[in-house]
């Protein structure tokens, strides 16, 4: 079986953490006592943000100061464009709301309005999302606003279930047309063995199922001391 580079690094990091015999292991994780845990700084909060890039189906509100006739809420079409009176058709896919503001102001300036002041706000995010499936409480598609990590993505899906196989969490991603998969150990991340990986738009997170726990749940709940091996018959697909 071949493993991805990320999976190999994850396993190595986990082993290194175990060898150290303590919580942590990642060079980016500092282990301190609870009473010594400092409060985050403003710079730490800023580091958590990521500019939102508009895409098809997103909705934005446009306000032009002093020209209420131009104020409107529009949806980005499938081609990544919006249409606005006087400014015409504008390709906004891949731009931030601030960049769209600049583009509209540039198109209106001089010809229609001497010094236009435009405000663009994201009202509904539909293009940038992550899919979380498998053994989570609420599988589904969730929007990505700001910075998203693997633990946060699973938390958006209301966490793992009693049947989750925490050592086998897979992230599927397409980069330049190449389909890739990375294997992560959720428990190791929670213990600080390595960093919580960042999740990007269109990623698919799959939390594997602990089939043995599901098969023997009833027996384990009803039995006291198990004196003989438990056997389950599996139906072939």
Ordered domains of the chain (ranges, CATH): 5-28+39-49+128-215 (3.10.560.10), 59-124 (3.30.1950.10)
**H-helix or E-strand containing 6?**
helix 5-20
Return the percentage of the chain with pLDDT > 70, whole number. 70
Write the DSSP symbol of residue 70: G
In whole angstroms, give the CA distance from residue 76 to residue 212: 47
In whole angstroms, give the CA distance from residue 57 to residue 178: 25
Least confident of 22-26, 64-68, 189-193, 201-205: 22-26
Given the structure tokens 């209301």, which residue do they identify? 158
pLDDT, tens digit, 9 for 90 and up, residues 88-106:
999 999 999 999 999 999 9
- Number of Cβ within a 10 Å radius of residue 125: 18
More confident site: 4 or 146: 146
In whole angstroms, give the CA distance from residue 94 to residue 179: 21
Three-state secondary structure call for residue 103: helix
3-state helix, strand, coil in the chain (%, to 5): 25, 30, 45
State the chain's mean pLDDT as an integer. Answer: 80
Residue 201 has pLDDT above 70, yes or no: yes
Closest CA to 96 of 138, 54, 45: 54
Residue 45 has pLDDT above 90, yes or no: no
In whole angstroms, give the CA distance from residue 181 to residue 229: 35
């Amino acid at each position: 079986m071949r493993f991805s580079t990320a999976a190999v690094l994850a396993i190595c990091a986990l082993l290194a953490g175990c060898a150290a015999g303590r919580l942590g292991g990642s060079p980016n994780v500092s282990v301190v006592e609870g009473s010594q845990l400092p409060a985050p700084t403003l710079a730490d909060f800023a580091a958590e943000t990521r500019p939102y890039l508009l895409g098809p189906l997103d909705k934005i509100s446009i306000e032009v100061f002093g020209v209420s006739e131009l104020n409107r809420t529009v949806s980005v079409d499938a081609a990544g464009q919006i249409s606005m009176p006087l400014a015409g058709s504008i390709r906004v896919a891949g731009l931030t709301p601030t960049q769209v503001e600049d583009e509209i102001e540039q198109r209106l300036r001089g010809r229609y309005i001497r010094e236009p002041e435009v405000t663009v706000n994201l009202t509904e995010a539909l293009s940038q999302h992550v899919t979380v499936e498998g053994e989570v409480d609420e599988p589904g598609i969730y929007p990505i606003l700001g910075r998203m990590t693997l633990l946060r993505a699973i938390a958006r899906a209301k966490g793992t279930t009693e049947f989750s196989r925490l050592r086998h969490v897979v992230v599927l991603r397409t980069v330049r047309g190449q389909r890739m998969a990375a294997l992560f150990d959720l428990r190791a991340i929670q213990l600080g063995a390595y960093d919580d990986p960042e999740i990007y738009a269109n990623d698919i997170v799959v939390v594997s199922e602990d089939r043995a726990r599901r098969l023997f749940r009833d027996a384990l709940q009803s039995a006291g001391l198990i004196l003989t091996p438990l056997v389950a018959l599996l139906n072939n697909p």
